[in-house]
A and B are shown apart, each in its own frame.
Chain A
Amino acid sequence: MTPSHTVRTAGRSRVRRLAGALHRRPRLRLSLLLTAPLLWLAVLYLGSLAVLFVSAFWTTNSFTSEVVKVWSTDNFEALFTTPVFRQVIWRSIGVALAVTALCAVIALPIAFYTARVARPRWRPLLVVAILTPLWASYLVKVYAWRLILSEGGLADWLLAPLGLDGPGYGLTAAVVTLTYLWLPYMILPIHTALEQLPDNLLDASADLGARPGRTLRSVVLPVVLPSVAAGSVFTFSLSLGDYITVQIVGGKTQLIGNLVYSNIELNLPMAAALGTVPVVVIVVYLLAMRRTGALSSL
């Protein structure tokens, strides 16, 4: 036996022993596998959230705007007592809810068409068509809406025969634009749910004498609702965090993102305090959605 051969066998048997040890200890195996991704989640994601939260308790020097690391709850007090902050927080939540509701109302019939009415041959193409806007730049789409909603623009022109004016720039414009932006995120889960709806359920409903309306209410909607809730997680959280759309088409409207943005240079702790608001709101929203079973259909 040559020395090198001995070394190789020893090395091989060591690997074997390690493999055997891992095989006998599934928990050790699992922890080795998950340590890296969990560390990433805990340190980078939760860690940065924790830093955000902690820095919200600091203050700034009012003239040089340097962060002063002295513990104080002033920022949160201001958050709850300043009328303008409360107003903007409620407005932001209202916008997110309105966008979510509009998306759901528009997405349901579209998804029903793409998943059940259109010929099977066309369905993949229709899904691609729904996804296409997601390939275009966010800014291009929002600026397109700025043109559509401008004075004498497409919206005014379309509504003129009805004796109406377009909404102009403002809260309505922001809701409409956000609805357009996030609609695909609502259509897709509903489309998937409807596609998986077994035909025989509908047949059974018809056999038992239900009219289409009754079938829709008693069979289709209960199956689809969790996916509407799943889509709403996207539309709600994306709308709550947006501040660029509202800057471009929102006229003078301020949402919570705009407040964070305007504080970030001069008063970082206040920006951090404001930044915790959407985090809390979305956690509450996710907990509420979990009850509907939406998270399992994501």
Chain B
Amino acid sequence: MRLNRSVKAAVAVGALLLVTACGSSDDEGGSPSAQSGLNPPDLKAQSKLGRTEGQVNLINWAGYVEDGSNDPKVDWVSDFEKETGCQVNSKVAASSDEMVKLMKTGQYDAVSASGDASLRLIASGDAAPVNTDLVPNYKDVFGGLKNQEWNSVDGTAYGIPHGRGANLLMYNTEKVKPAPDSWSVVFDGASKYKGKVTAYDSPIYIADAALYLKATRPDLKIENPYALDQKQFDAAVDLLKKQNENVGEYWGDYLKEVSAFKSGDSVVGTTWQVIANLAEDEGAKVEAVVPKEGSTGWSDTWMLSAKAKHPNCAYKWMDWIISPKANAQVAEYFGEAPANSKACDLTSVKDWCETYHAADEDYWKNTAFWNTPIEQCLDGRTDTKCVPYAKWVQAWTEIKG
């Protein structure tokens, strides 16, 4: 009996070794890329799927994993459970920082990480590489989402793209005239709307100021708004301190912004497409545009924990959530552009993908997706050090005063 068990264990360990030894051959070239400073632990993706484990533990943004308990009509989890036999346990996180913290516990199998969390997860070894061959629906994902700097390192994929959205400039069409086409309306020209300007309440908003400076202050030579050396960073912080004098309130909760635009307490500021739609539905006279300087945005990635106890169910989930039907459902419920090109045919609102520019790669070229600022400059500069995210957090407190 005892022997029997140790034989089983030995076989299991052997199988595991075999799996890891076969590994993935995703290291294409392995040449030092822009992120040569980022040295994640050498982990290997599994090469084939094993039996599903019966359950999977997910960390996700609100609205990403809906099983009908919030709204009986919103459910793309039950079918997954029926089909794969993987019971889904979802833990909603409120911020990227919370996601990073939860992933460190090792109790979760996968996370829907935004770009400002993903690099931190990769660098600390909490996220494992993903073998995209095991995710059949990956082939239909828009090319612009694959192997980007927030979901891959040196060509190794660290996750499956979920969907994306841009941070837009929203304005009250009655109060803000002429219609703005530049972020200057919330920065240099903000005093015209003193007390009615709003901004996103997160350190990552500093990148919005950097993006504006990239266009208006060529002498600063900003390449990437998430790779700022001390001088560039100080300029962005100064700009935001000046903006603060004209800000009425910052928004973190999207319903707060909807109510502020409805009542007229805010008339101009940064927003998400879903907020603009909601505000318009509720009768606010608003318009949301991408200004000429381009904009920042977010692109979410399902990442696999390096300590996943249910990796096969996690792979099944990653494939399911980007399957055309589920991806269309989640994109519509959350208000974002789906990752799967075939999802566009299945949305209940016909022109969903047009509204959210799902296939419009030119639109996304102007979008600087959220990324984690680290000391090694993300834009490839090696002669200087960039300001890491922890400093961004401190600066954000100082900006708000």
Contact = CB atoms under 8 A, between A and B. Distances in A.
A151 B97 contact: no
Contact of B97 (A84, A152, A251, A265): A265
A152 B264 contact: yes
Contact of B374 (A63, A153, A168): A63
Interface in B98-135: 98, 100-101, 104, 120, 123-124
B388 A63 contact: yes
A151 B248 CA distance: 11
A252 interface: yes
A66 interface: yes
Interface residues of B, number: 34
Contacts of A151: 263-265
A150 interface: yes
A64 interface: yes
Interface in B346-401: 374-375, 388-391, 393, 396-398, 400-401
Interface in A139-157: 146-147, 150-153
Given A65-B100, A65-B390, A262 B397 contact: yes
Contacts of B101: 65, 265
Given A64-B120, A87-B401, A153-B263, A169 B98 contact: no
Interface in B334-356: none
B397 A84 contact: yes
A252 to B, nearest CB: 5
Classify chain A: how many residues form its interface, as a range.
20 to 34
Interface string A247-262: 1101110100001001
Interface string A149-171: 01111000000000000001100
A283 B396 CA distance: 30
Given A65-B100, A254-B397, A169 B265 contact: yes
A263 B95 CA distance: 13
A253 to B, nearest CB: 8
Dominant secondary structure at the B interface: helix
A108 B147 CA distance: 67
B259 interface: yes
Nearest to B372: A63
A63 B390 contact: yes
Contacts of A66: 104
Contacts of A150: 259-260, 263-265
Given A63-B120, A63-B374, A151-B264, A251 B249 contact: yes
Contact of A265 (B95, B123, B260, B401): B95
Top 8 closest pairs, chain A to chain B, by CB: A265-B97, A150-B263, A62-B390, A151-B264, A251-B249, A84-B398, A64-B124, A151-B265
Interface of B: 95, 97-98, 100-101, 104, 120, 123-124, 195, 244, 247-250, 252, 256, 259-260, 263-265, 374-375, 388-391, 393, 396-398, 400-401
7 contacts: A64-B104, A150-B264, A151-B265, A168-B248, A254-B397, A265-B98, A267-B390
